[in-house]
Amino acid sequence: MGPYDSSISSNSTSSACSSSTKPPPPQQPPEQMDHLLAGAGYKVRSNDLTQVADRLEQLETVMVKSSPGDFSELGNDTVYYNPTDLASWVDSLLTELNPNVTVHGSGPGDVSDPDPDPNGFNNNFPVNMNNNNNMNMNMNVYGEFGQQVVTPVEEDVSIRLVHVLMTCAEAVQRGELSLASLLIDDLQGLLGRVNSGCGIGKVGSFFVDALSRRVVNSPQNGVVQVDLSAYENEILYHHYYEACPYLKFAHFTANQAILEAFDGQDCVHVIDFNLMQGLQWPALIQALALRPGGPPLLRLTGIGPPSMDGRDPLREIGLKLAELARSVNVRFAFRGVAASRLDDVKPWMLQVSPKEAVAVNSIMQLHKLLGPGGPRGPPIDLVLDWIRELNPRILMVVEQESNHNQPEFLDRFTESLYYYSTMFDSLDACTAQPEKTLAELYIQREICNVVCCEGSARVERHEPLVRWRERLTSAGFAPLHLGSNAFKQARMLLTLFSAEGYSVEENEGCLTLGWHSRPLIAASAWQAIPKPSAVTMGR
């Protein structure tokens, strides 16, 4: 296939190679997406093309009639969803302008086919495969007055550093430990020659550290990371929260979606899969307080690890939040559920009442369930199953946008090297201390887990949005699209950060936050499709 090939986005279809005399069998199932428009980022069923064209024509006429001379009115207040689904995008504009027009065919969010990725469209632009190679060039070496100076020598050493890191990881993969050890010595030497305060020097040193731990301690079985105390975990988490916008974006976007899902509901119940310090909830409580028509009764169930040191952190946070709720006149009840693993939680512990609207909130938690399963089956399936049984109005999922769960060590190593380089790059922009250093330690623990650990000790099993979509769809959830208002507000949040490199992108109804053009965190919202049989809750 040459560069003229019409489907640059798909390797899989080819009708030209058949040498039989019969005409090739029709390769296109009825739900086939059009290749050409896919290359432009749009998903339109081949069968719908003429209809979409007609609608576009209609839309233009209606636009002209409704506000001749100034179409920008349409851009101001209306909320839009999932522009990739061109058919429903056009239809939603048509209904917006002309509510009396009945729209036939697909509705918003309705591009559901049995195979969500028939052309391999997602596989060929997998978000997890991209990288930000700025670690290889234009390394920022700070001059005396904070200027950025690039020295060619520095660049060569950086490139070499990455090259040797990869070679060392390859050696580890092949089990050649003595070679790996020698390479680690090399790496230490190279680290000494780059500026380890920033850029590749900084993140490189964490990876060298992780590799050397793996080489020294039973590499086949991986190391077991030393657990930090709950208190130490909280400190690192809090500083990570302050130093960069990833957690804030997660909380903010989740709260938006939850707020919308709770519209018109008088009794609402939020289940937080990882309460931590409850940083997400004051904003939601205040937003509910200001809701037109008054706040609902809010129940919050916070899940967290059992405490080892006699404190009851869940209860402490619960009390603080209750205090806040009282001060803004929101009727509030809190319940803590201590569990070391999410698959230890049973639905009855959450005491969900049938009258409540339920929101399940999972910020960077679901990936921990992708490890080896026990006798009851894969933990992720168990948990998604009981979530579904709760019949939540919204399941909010925020996850790291990368594939750190590949079976081959080398693939995981490479992927995480790119991912965390980008993340560290974004952290470079933060100057506040000790926030920055502690945030780096927080990230370092993730790196160590991905690189050094195996089996059930390896909990940081990040998977990209593409994979989560597959999982959640097969587990009986339907997407709830995050729209242009959430997008706009996320961008406004980012302007609070002086670093100009963060980018929010819309991805088929989900939002991602990244550094420059590399998405690092993906937020998606889901709704449970009720099971066919009668649902019993709160057993």
* Interface positions, 105-134, toward another protein (CB under 8 A): 124-127, 129-134
Instruction: Decide whether 389 or 508 has the Cβ nearer to another protein.
Output: 508
Q: How far is the CB of 326 from another protein (least distance, A)?
A: 36
Write out the two tokens for 388. 């579904």
Distance in angstroms (rounded) separating the CA atoms of residues 379 and 495: 39
> Using CA of residue 310, residue 315, residue 317, residue 320, what is the dihedral sign?
negative
Stretch that binds another protein, among 13-21, 366-374, 431-439, 515-523 (CB under 8 A): 515-523
Q: How far is the CB of 496 from another protein (least distance, A)?
A: 15
Q: Which of 166, 349, 441, 459 binds another protein (CB under 8 A)?
A: 166
Q: Is 30 in the site for another protein (CB under 8 A)?
A: no
User: Is residue 491 at the binding interface for another protein, with CB under 8 A as the rule?
Assistant: yes
Residue located via tokens 């509910």: 288
Specify the long-range contacts of residues 438-444, CB closer than 8 Å, at least 24 apart.
Answer: 438/235, 438/236, 438/239, 438/240, 438/243, 439/236, 439/239, 439/240, 439/242, 439/243, 439/244, 440/202, 440/206, 441/236, 442/236, 442/237, 442/239, 442/240, 443/206, 443/240, 444/206, 444/209
The tokens for 397 are 């999922």
Tell me whether residue 156 or residue 323 sits nearer to another protein (CB atom).
Answer: 156
Dihedral sign of CA atoms 488, 494, 498, 499 in order: negative
Instruction: Report the nearest approach of another protein to the CB of residue 345 (Å).
Output: 35
Residues 310-339 that bind another protein (CB under 8 A): none
CB of 488 to another protein, least distance (A): 4
Q: Which residues of 435-457 are buried (b: 16+ CB within 10 A; e: fewer)?
A: bbebbbbbbbbbbbbbbbbbeee
- Identified binder of another protein from the candidate list 56, 101, 333, 478, rule CB under 8 A: 56
Q: How many chain residues are in contact with another protein, going by CB under 8 A?
A: 83
Place of tokens 């959640």: 472
One residue of 103, 159, 177, 287 binding another protein per CB under 8 A: 159
Q: Which is nearer to another protein, 60 or 266 (CB)?
A: 60
* Contact characters 135-154, another protein, x per CB under 8 A: -xxxxx-------x-x-x--
Euclidean distance between CA atoms 63 and 48, whole angstroms: 22
455, 517, 530, 531: which one binds another protein (CB under 8 A): 517
Report 189-248 residues binding another protein (CB under 8 A): none
Smallest gap, in angstroms, from Cβ of residue 136 to another protein?
6
Cα dihedral 251, 257, 259, 262 in deg (nearest 10): -130
What does residue 348 show for φ and ψ, rounded to 5 degrees? Answer: -65, -25
Work out whether 347 is an interface residue with another protein (CB under 8 A). Answer: no
Class of residue 317 by CB neighbours under 10 A (exposed 0-12, middle 13-18, buried 19+): buried
Choose the binding region for another protein from 31-39, 180-188, 327-335, 356-364 (rule: CB under 8 A).
Answer: 31-39
- What whole-number distance in Å separates Cα of residue 66 and Cα of residue 63? 5
Interhelix angle for 379-389 vs 465-474, to 10°? 60
* Closer to another protein by Cβ: residue 502 or 526: 502
Residues in 389-428 at the binding interface with another protein, rule: CB under 8 A: 410-411, 414-415
Q: Which of 14, 15, 47, 53 binds another protein (CB under 8 A)?
A: 53
Binding of residue 61 to another protein (CB under 8 A) = yes
161 binds another protein (CB under 8 A): no
Q: Is 176 in the site for another protein (CB under 8 A)?
A: no
CB of 148 to another protein, least distance (A): 5
By three-state DSSP, how is residue 478 classified?
strand
Position 80 contacts another protein (CB under 8 A): yes
- Does residue 47 belong to the site contacting another protein (CB under 8 A)? no
Identify the residue whose tokens are 């309705």.
Answer: 110
Q: Nearer Cβ to another protein, position 124 or 196?
A: 124
Residue 526, strand partner residues: 395, 479
Please report, as residue ranges, which positions from 348 to 367 form the binding site for another protein (by CB under 8 A): none
Residue 179 bridge partners (DSSP): none
Question: Among 13, 31, 37, 378, which residue interacts with another protein (rule: CB under 8 A)?
Answer: 37
